[in-house]
């Protein structure tokens, strides 16, 4: 198979050869039906590969367009990168998102670095 790359199997905690994958699904609040939106494989060994950030932002851009700006994008812990935050927090994008955080991360809040857990505890939720 072409362009196989090193991937990490988090369940087995080992590395192997394969492809990275982006998956996006949609769901309506009034239904339990899952709607597939994106499922694509890619490799950092491919000639046209730019970056994982580029791949993720492309999925978000296309998904946001397809859903007419509705929905909330959910990214796993690897999504907590400055480059992604800069794009997702861009006022022109108006993207709603949730990024699962690692316990050792801090966020810039009102000019100071804060622990993510401490910030989360202060969030008002319905």
Domain residue ranges of the chain, discontinuous segments joined by +: 5-122
Q: What is the pLDDT at residue 89?
A: 87
CA distance 28 to 71: 9
Cα 17 from chain centroid (whole Å): 22
CA distance 11 to 42: 20
Entry pTM? 0.77
Answer yes or no: are the C-beta atoms of 84 and 56 closer than 8 Å.
yes
Q: What is the pLDDT at residue 68?
A: 86
Answer yes or no: are the C-beta atoms of 98 and 75 closer than 8 Å.
yes
Q: What is the pLDDT along the chain (126 residues), one digit of tens a residue?
A: 899 999 988 788 899 999 999 988 888 889 999 988 889 999 999 999 999 999 999 998 888 888 888 888 888 888 888 888 888 888 887 788 898 887 778 888 899 998 888 888 888 887
SS3 letters for 53-93? HHHHHHHHHHHHHHCCCCCCEEECHHHCCHHHHHHHCCCCC
CA distance 25 to 35: 5
Q: Count the Cβ atoms, other than its own, within 10 Å of residue 20.
A: 16
Q: What is the pLDDT at residue 7?
A: 92
Residue 11: HSE in the Cβ half-sphere, 13 Å Cα cutoff: 0
* Residue showing tokens 């730019």: 50
């Amino acid at each position: 198979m072409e362009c196989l790359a090193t991937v990490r199997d988090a369940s087995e905690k080992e590395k192997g050869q394969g492809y990275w994958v982006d998956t996006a699904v949609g769901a309506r609040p009034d239904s339990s039906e899952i709607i597939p939106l994106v499922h694509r494989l890619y490799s950092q060994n491919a000639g046209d590969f730019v970056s994982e950030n580029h791949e993720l932002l492309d999925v978000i851009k296309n998904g946001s367009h397809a859903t007419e700006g509705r929905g909330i994008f959910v990214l796993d812990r690897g999504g907590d990168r400055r480059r992604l935050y800069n794009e997702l927090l861009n006022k022109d994008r108006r993207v709603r998102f949730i990024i699962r955080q690692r316990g050792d991360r801090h966020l810039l809040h009102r000019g100071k670095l804060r622990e993510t857990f401490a910030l989360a505890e202060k969030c008002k939720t319905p």
